[in-house]
Structure 1
Amino acid sequence: MNDAFFPDIVVNGDTIPASDVSAELQNHNVPQGKQALAWRRAARALAIRALLLQEAKKRNLDANTHDIGPGKNETETEALIRTLLEQALPETTPDETALRAYYDANLERFRAPALYEASHILFAADETAPAREKARIRAVAALGILTHNPDQFRNLARNESDCTSRQSDGRLGQISRGETVEAFDRMLDQLEPGTIAPEPIETRFGFHILRLDAKAPGDILPFENAKPRIAEATEKAAWTRAANEFVTDLVSHADISGIDMRPE
């Protein structure tokens, strides 16, 4: 992007060159053709950083860098901003009552994954169109047999399946959501135990006939088990709100030119 099309940014008398904004662009992904939006986001980010550093200087804060990963330390700038926010933002630890209220209002979020027992018949195919079509035709034919005689599943699995599960009549054993391909997960949620999917399921492996043998809904985690997760999410949300309010206040009292600091 040509820096000449965009002005330098001035924050309370401190200048941020357009070249610095160009270097910041890599940290801001926007849709193709939205270069002006990318520039605005990069410029806003640098203006806010400048405001935070000016406020840290005003408060005479020191930069005590911390380790933030194996072999990686904070920069002095990162340390100053962290120290400022630690000092300026209010305590965000939620109380037990708030955590319990959130838990009671969102019980389904704390349900363990359902467990399934399923069986399948695989008609394998590579990615070529002829192989795909051949596997699809085989699967449709097998499904036609099962529509009239579901008891043939075992025989078809043993004689037709291209999966090693054919040795156990197509049984996949006990599985939970996320352990198989997404198409399986979606269908397992829809089927009733003892029923066969109404159409073959296509995956990168080929075409599958899927049967749900049993299903056990996951239990809801007790509050004490869910509490650390709720507390972390609640604290993070409260911290983000407080940080946004703090930055908004700094912007409202600042003299900034070269960039519109109003929210998008």
Structure 2
Amino acid sequence: MEIVGLHTRPAAKGPLPVRVNGVEISRAAIAREIQNHPAEDAATAARETARALVVRELLLQEATRLGIEADPMTDADDRRETEEEALIRRLLDEEVKTPRADQDACRRFYEANLKRFRSEDLYEAAHILFAARADDPDAHASAVAQAMAAIRSLREKRSRFAGMAEALSACPSGKVGGSLGQLTAGQVTPEFADALSRMQPGEISAAPVTTRYGAHVIRLDRRIEGRTLPFEVVEDRIAAYLEDSVWRRAVAQYIQILAGRAAIEGLTLDAAASPLVQ
């Protein structure tokens, strides 16, 4: 279980046993769990694994103290909770109470984050690619020169574009006149996307657009502006996001309070002084 907002630090240098109220988190348990906590180095991975196991032990001990009984659930894929997972779920359901996100809160979030609810612009575009590796300066310069020559030719006669793409482009799209169909900024390189955003429909790029693939001559055929989704369409999604964020913070604080009451050896968890979020 990964709870946002809870941090750990080594209590002392050297390998010390980790215990929670006298219950040891064995090195064997850490070794079994460590694959689920990848990190930059083995020491960090082991520390993060121990942290997760300490949190789990704290929650299981509290569930036992409160006399909570496990009632494992089965999900849509017929996967059944373990006894420990069920105990922790029921504990948090009973002990961590958070408010529902009302419509006013959802609307404030919506109005403050309109960009998050706008669909991407769609572009219909074509290109001619003169391929060159970015780490080959001579080939790159040659590709740019060929692209410039193509642009000059197209200034004289735009209708040459499809034929030139078929004859010269190093992209498979050359077989269909360079057409890339409909695409979004996220489907192309940043340089290509930036060029599209600055072009007008019907325009051919005035200069080669260089990317890691080489030099491109781009033609923008059509732009379909994205639109902002209505509040009513995304209200439920916003409410779920806000409620989950509040719940995660409340759970982190609840765990910090449990840690403050517990005797934890070998690893120090930061404990909260403030009361649990209601």
Change (3 A) 1:210 1:54: same
**Does 2:67 correspond to 1:60?**
yes
Number of aligned residues:
254
Structure 1 runs not aligned, ≥5 long: none
1: CA distance, partners of 2:40 / 2:173? 45
Partner residue, 1:70: 77
Counterparts of residues 220-235 of structure 1 (less than 5 Å): 220-235=228-243
Please state whether the residue corresponding to 2:186 is helix, strand or coil: coil
Q: CA deviation at 1:182?
A: 5.2
Asked whether 1:217 is paired with 2:246, we answer: no
Contact kept, 8 Å, 2:70 with 2:86, in 1: the verdict is: yes
- Confirm or deny: 8 A CA contact 1:110 1:220 kept in the other structure: yes
1:12 to 11, 17, 21: 21
Shift of 1:222: 0.5
| Residue 144 in structure 1 maps to residue 149 in structure 2 | yes
Task: Report the more deviating stretch, 38-47 or 65-74.
Answer: 65-74
**Quick check: 1:189 aligned with 2:194?**
no
Deviation at 1:249, TM superposition (A): 0.7
- Residue in structure 1 matching 2:46, options 36, 39, 45: 39
Residue in structure 2 matched with residue 85 of structure 1 by the alignment: 92
Does 2:30 correspond to 1:25?
A: no
Query: Alpha-carbon deviation of 1:181?
Result: 5.0
- Supply the RMSD in Å over aligned alpha carbons: 2.9
Instruction: Please list the CA deviations of residues 207-228 of structure 1 after superposition, one character each: whole Å capped at 9, or x if unmatched.
Output: 4322223323211110011212
* Equivalent residue runs for 1:108-257 within 5 Å: 108-123=115-130, 137-138=142-143, 140-147=145-152, 149-159=154-164, 160-163=168-171, 165-166=173-174, 169-180=177-188, 183-193=191-201, 194-196=203-205, 198-202=207-211, 207-257=215-265
Task: Verify the 8 A CA contact 1:154 1:170 in the aligned structure 2.
Answer: no
AA partner of residue 191 (structure 1): M
Letter in 1 for 2:230: P
In 2: Cα distance, 1:139 partner to 1:153 partner: 19
Cα pair 1:183 1:203 within 8 Å, conserved: no
1:98-109 → structure 2 map (5 Å cutoff): 98-109=105-116
Cα distance change of structure 1 residues 17 and 116 upon mapping to structure 2, 3 Å threshold: same
Relative to 1, partners in 2 of residues 1:183 and 1:65: Cα closer, same or farther, differing over 3 Å? farther
Determine the C-alpha separation between the residues in 2 that align with 1:56 and 1:198: 67
Give the partner amino acid of 1:117.
Answer: E
CA separation of 1:166 and 1:43: change in aligned 2, threshold 3 A: closer
> C-alpha distance in 2, partners of 1:182/1:69?
40
Give the SS at the match of 1:72. coil
Quick one: distance in 2 between partners of 1:236 and 1:16? Answer: 30
Pick which of 212-221 and 168-177 moved more: 168-177
Return the offset for 1:112: 0.9
> C-alpha distance in 2, partners of 1:197/1:65?
64
Identity, % of aligned positions:
35
Distance of 2:176 and 2:31 partners within structure 1: 61
CA offsets per residue over residues 109-149 of structure 1, 9 Å max, x none? Answer: 11111021212113357x7988x966862553232341575
CA–CA distance in 2 between the matches of 1:152 and 1:28? 60
Unaligned runs of 5+ in 2: 1-13, 272-278
Q: Give the structure, 1 or 2, with the largest relative contact order (CA under 8 Å, sep 6 or more).
A: 2
- In structure 2, the CA distance between the partners of 1:166 and 1:26, relative to structure 1 (3 Å rule), is closer
Is 1:100–1:223's contact at 8 Å kept on the other side of the alignment? yes
Q: How far apart are the structure 1 equivalents of 2:97 and 2:151?
A: 64
Q: In structure 1, what residue type is equivalent to 2:25? A: I
Deviation at 1:37, TM superposition (A): 2.6
